[in-house]
Structure 1
């Protein structure tokens, strides 16, 4: 279930001169693979808030049941360490394991409130969609400007997101037409792709564009995302620092780190 779009602006069929240097990339690159949340859209904070709402409800119920003290989910440190960039199920398991909690996986149709990995994940998703509907989706304007520049330079583009809400976020942000392909959480589920830090989703995006990994640049703000870029042998891995962690992004595999993609335009 790899999603195909029409050709983006400034790249009719991918023909013509490809000039990665004009957009701050290495020579020989022909495609760009963009994470969505935190790179192009300001939904990372919405995700973090939804994770906190869901986990705090569950942790409070656990504390009442066991008599142990309630320790809330930290939307900064816990989100970055255990959840950011991972699939919904992997993020749920990772954080719960940090608290010594192991739940059965259950199934994708588990109802909200069920004490399973899928049940908690579905609760988080419901909270996320509610917040999106209430507040809308903002973009990083300068980063979107960069994607337009990439298309004018003749490079092909894919969006690669662990979220199953990727299409809804793109549509709300009005940026669907900028990308030739979408590889998201639904694709991963359908194709049995491992989540980040495994490189599977980025490798699937490269294949969908007809490229070798070495011909593609990866753009990521999450530590597990840059790890995935490094593990996949991609031509360049650009870390986007939205959380004041430039050295950590470098340590996990970024070739270079910028605070916004427009910096690459010079």
Structure 2
């Protein structure tokens, strides 16, 4: 595997003249909403576990906002993430119905509770735009590169509108679109591949930017030309992004730009 330095300067990165389109994750890539999601999941699961343990005579560890979020929820569709986390605690609940009320001990009830908490946090704090991502979006626009968002969150379109950047993207594939189109969630590559088709580009000619391990795995499985992992967690997360298939890992998307803000061009020698 190439080192971070090699990946950022080599022609296989897929940026500049090598890339025909950019595909972005949302939470933790374009915005700082990954933290809001993690907080919403903690509030939701801790409430669920307290109630579940009371009547089941159990004592489960509370939700770890960092480790459990990164391992089970980050980048995944809600239902898949909920099942993964509950399985880590040895808990099974029925799927339930789409109209289950928040707090119902079902997959859909837990998802409804989390969405309510997340929207409340989003309205109170805003999405927190990432400045490095804004610079990269500006450079992409100057270069005439079309952009898409691929996110598992049901409220992806709403977050983009709230952030004021919805008009920067030709295609948005969020959780609602994925459900409508029957697209499996990350780490399956279907959402990324759908976005690439809508943009009219081959995956090998597109660069993907993802913060979630599941998103990196999805992009690699889809055969995308470059997969840039965005390390917002620190610690071991950067290493795990490499292990999941990232061709580059950065802590700031502005690192991909030249000193004057233009996209770097890459030659065959790196």
TM-score normalised to structure 1 length: 0.89
Contact 2:14 2:226 in 1 (8 A): no
Contact 1:229 1:237 in 2 (8 A): yes
Contact 2:217 2:244 in 1 (8 A): yes
Equivalent residue for 2:171? Answer: 181
How is 1:1-80 mapped onto 2 (pairs within 5 angstroms)?
A: 25=15, 27-80=17-70
Contact 2:14 2:205 in 1 (8 A): no
1:250 maps to which of 223, 228, 242: 242
**CA displacement at 1:24 relative to structure 2:** 7.4
More divergent stretch after superposition (102-111 vs 207-216): 102-111
**4+ long deviations beyond 2 Å:** none
- CA deviations 1:203-231 (Å, max 9, x no partner) are 01001111111111110011111000110
In the alignment, structure 2 segments of 5+ residues that lack a partner are: 1-10, 259-270
Equivalent residue for 1:99? Answer: 89
Q: CA RMSD in A?
A: 1.4
Q: How many residues align?
A: 245
Equivalent residue for 1:228? Answer: 218
Contact 1:226 1:237 in 2 (8 A): yes
Equivalent residue for 2:7? Answer: none
CA distance in 1, matches of 2:185, 2:248: 23
**CA displacement at 1:67 relative to structure 2:** 2.1
Contact 1:162 1:184 in 2 (8 A): yes
CA distance in 1, matches of 2:111, 2:208: 27
For the residue of structure 2 that corresponds to 1:44, the secondary structure is: helix
CA distance in 2, matches of 1:27, 1:98: 44
How is 1:59-208 mapped onto 2 (pairs within 5 angstroms)?
A: 59-208=49-198
TM-score normalised to structure 2 length: 0.88
Equivalent residue for 1:265? Answer: 257
Give the 3 Å change call, closer, same or farther, for CA 93–189 of structure 1 in structure 2: same
- CA deviations 1:35-62 (Å, max 9, x no partner) are 0100010000100000000000110011
**CA displacement at 1:114 relative to structure 2:** 1.4
CA distance in 1, matches of 2:58, 2:92: 16
- CA deviations 1:192-251 (Å, max 9, x no partner) are 111100100000100111111111111001111100011000011001111112221111
Contact 1:24 1:264 in 2 (8 A): no
**CA displacement at 1:148 relative to structure 2:** 1.0
Contact 1:239 1:258 in 2 (8 A): yes
CA distance in 1, matches of 2:104, 2:73: 20
For the residue of structure 2 that corresponds to 1:193, the secondary structure is: coil
Equivalent residue for 1:15? Answer: none
For the residue of structure 2 that corresponds to 1:138, the secondary structure is: coil
